[in-house]
Amino acid sequence: MTRDEGTYKAQGERAAKAGTRREGTYKAQADRAAGNAAPAEKATRRRTKMVAPPNNYLVPERDALLTPVLECRHLGIDFGGLKAVEDLNLMVGKTEIAGLIGPNGAGKTTVFNLLTKVYQPTRGTILLDGQDTAGMDTARVSREGIARTFQNIRLFDSLTVEDNVKIGLHNQVECGMWSGIFRAPRYWLSEQEFHKRALELLDVFNMADNADDIAGSLPYGAQRRLEIVRALATNPKLLLLDEPAAGMNPVETEELMDNIVKIRDQFQIAVLLIEHDMDLVMGI
């Protein structure tokens, strides 16, 4: 992805200055007009005031004095002769929801692969919460706080919904091999904790009732949501969502966007999402 191929952050300077960001979407407005009151717990989308700290990147005002959760400087990767990502500069504030947009093949997914260390960059630096991630591998950046979903859903299809979430939880629990093999009290304790936590997380998307369902049997939209819950289970500081609304119908998409705002508010994390639908990105 080159600088010319797209705006990297949907809340880019021009849009923010022009005040073109919308607080809600057309459906929400239509619902209100039709008297369909939104549920009380529905996330309210607020206009975020963006400010430019000394380094000239725009971040939400509330994050301006905090170390950005992500900073990419002159990031690039070549695949043979192909410069898939070239000179990407990006900053994401601690509780910011940012969008990565660009045409097909621009290098958006490759950026996620760089951030999660599926690939090591050919050039440039990635700072996570101020820490240089050079030399880190995928497992390490996961522990340090980056979680992702995939453009094509990757769940453990034959496992239950709850077990898929527990897999995400595993990177935070210290349960040694022996306590696992002998099912020591500590093992049971963490199993109980896992169960409770998995249900809490599923509840974010009202999916606790699906805990025992086989993941592969869920409808497509629910599988996409489950993937987000599993990513959340790793306790990230930064959640990367690769086209989370792909294949969803407009109602599901609208709910998803509300839920992304809710997740940010509840977990106080940052979200970087890839999305083709500009309206949708600008809506949050």
Ligand X SMILES: Nc1ncnc2c1ncn2[C@@H]1O[C@H](COP(=O)(O)OP(=O)(O)OP(=O)(O)O)[C@@H](O)[C@H]1O
Q: How far is the CB of 10 from ligand X (least distance, A)?
A: 15
Residue choice 11, 109, 142, 164 for contact with Mg ion (CB under 5 A): 109
Name which of ligand X, Mg ion, none residue 79 binds, using a CB cut-off of 5 to 8 Å depending on partner kind: ligand X
Query: What part of residues 144-163 is at the interface with ligand X (CB under 6 A)?
Result: 151
Tokens 């695949």 -> residue: 79
79 lies in the site for ligand X, by CB under 6 A: yes
Q: How far is the CB of 115 from Mg ion (least distance, A)?
A: 13
At residue 61, the 3 state secondary structure works out as helix
102 lies in the site for ligand X, by CB under 6 A: yes
Nearer to ligand X, 107 or 221 (CB): 107
Residue 33 corresponds to which amino acid? A
Residue choice 24, 68, 93, 107 for contact with ligand X (CB under 6 A): 107
Closest to 217 measured CA to CA, from 156, 148, 166: 156
Nearer to ligand X, 101 or 218 (CB): 101
83 alpha carbon, distance to own chain's centre: 25
Please give the residue whose beta carbon sits closest to Mg ion in the complex: 109
Q: How far is the CB of 209 from Mg ion (least distance, A)?
A: 32
| Paired tokens of 82 | 């192909």
DSSP secondary structure string, 171-217?
A: GG----HHHHHTT-HHHHHHHHHHHHHHHHHHHTTT-GGGTTSBGGG
Closest to 277 measured CA to CA, from 241, 261, 260, 253: 253
Mark the segment that binds ligand X (CB under 6 A) among 41-49, 55-63, 76-84, 248-256. 76-84
Q: How far is the CB of 245 from ligand X (least distance, A)?
A: 13
110 lies in the site for ligand X, by CB under 6 A: yes
Name which of ligand X, Mg ion, none residue 230 binds, using a CB cut-off of 5 to 8 Å depending on partner kind: none
CB-based contacts of 253-261 (< 8 A; 24+ apart in sequence): 253/277, 253/280, 254/25, 254/27, 254/28, 256/224, 256/225, 257/25, 257/283, 257/284, 258/42, 258/43, 258/45, 259/43, 259/204, 259/205, 259/225, 259/228, 260/97, 260/284, 261/43, 261/44, 261/45, 261/97
Name which of ligand X, Mg ion, none residue 177 binds, using a CB cut-off of 5 to 8 Å depending on partner kind: none
Residue choice 109, 223, 234, 253 for contact with ligand X (CB under 6 A): 109
Residue 210 corresponds to which amino acid? N
Name which of Mg ion, ligand X, none residue 102 binds, using a CB cut-off of 5 to 8 Å depending on partner kind: ligand X
Binding site for Mg ion (CB under 5 A): 109, 151
Binding site for ligand X (CB under 6 A): 79, 82, 84, 102, 104-110, 151
